[in-house]
Structure 1
């Protein structure tokens, strides 16, 4: 039995004030996929993600969510969103548990207090991100990486069918990135579908099943990580990023055959189908 896509775009365009910023996008997202959306700043990837979430203008083309045209889709709680925000607001005092419980609000009338099922789901979400022991702590006492995990738990508490994450590992130190990567790996293993906008591609080694690259307002690649690695290697003039003789960081910027990839802070090692650090120029 075939499984219906969670998301289907056909020649879709999104933008602002009726003007398309990203256009001609055709792709499908199926249950269980872990998709990394790559692209330089200004490429249109954030506009694409906001379009999927219904946060900007759908200019043209077809957009379906769970088999329903986006214009008619009402069950927005089925899509969890982790925004690009490194820290939670310190202007309002709240515990970790209280922040995560916000994810349950769309599932009950505003006047009804949290019940046993709400509390169970909040506890489960905190356990999933490794913060069960910090549930009663004030969020102001947490590190940046822990804040990111609280936001993921808040999204999970709503029990979405897909998580859209905007730079979940950005702005935190290496140790925190590793913890966040472990959280994402557990979510992937449990079958959670994810679309992850990221520049920290190394942190997602072994998790991502598919790469979508956005550049100049269009999708320029859509396929598995290993094939993307081959593409990047070819753009470097055949230099093997995982080889013994040359590394991307050794190449001068004007070297023949050198082409800037979607980022300057990471490259793929196609011989292993995984990511390798290289060519970090800031």
Structure 2
């Protein structure tokens, strides 16, 4: 099975296929910040899964407060810790994460629009992703949110408390990361492999390369030809087997094409970043 693939590898290799215009010029991002920073008293929030999700939400909250943000997440503030203070050393990481987030947002809105757009969206996230609430989804879009159960439950309650709602005529279904058979559960919840779909991988906790391969296998089994898989690939996944930068492209080809993915776009963007990017920044996370 062939699946066209777009990959964003932070921090220095985001795949950007169109200019990033200010939010004020994009009607899909005309929101107000309705959720302010919130305290986290639950002891569960000390768990690494919660901490990493809160960190990403804090990035989105800080980006939303910029004069000309790449995007506006009106709900990220309800996850951010109180008295949030941006460390200057984290600014580059924040910026790269936000570029990736904007890219993914734009691709989702582009691929799902129109009568013939993909109306099945599968989000592999940390559990605090707010795209189901903040993006302007077309009618009849079904969003499958794959993430840790405990994080998703806590995030859903906070989103409900601040009045976040799914767009009318759309459906938001959770698929727990802990599921013994995630592929079967997706199908049980209505996913149809015979219909177009778009798959997003950002912030999803994977413990090793084998776990990531399981995700690729599931996508290759469920997605029809022409579907898209995009997101952020953790750098440490490549560093487990790649010793030098020049080997990354070969590694990407081998692992993705072994599961039936087409990698032409990745190769083109990889070369563009190699030519234009900062060598030092390439290997940092």
Shorter-chain TM-score bucket reads 0.3 to 0.5
* Bigger strand share: 1
* TM-score normalized by the length of structure 1: 0.36
Higher helix share: 2
RCO (CA 8 Å, sep 6+): is it higher in 1 or 2?
A: 2
TM-score, with normalisation over the residues of structure 2? 0.36
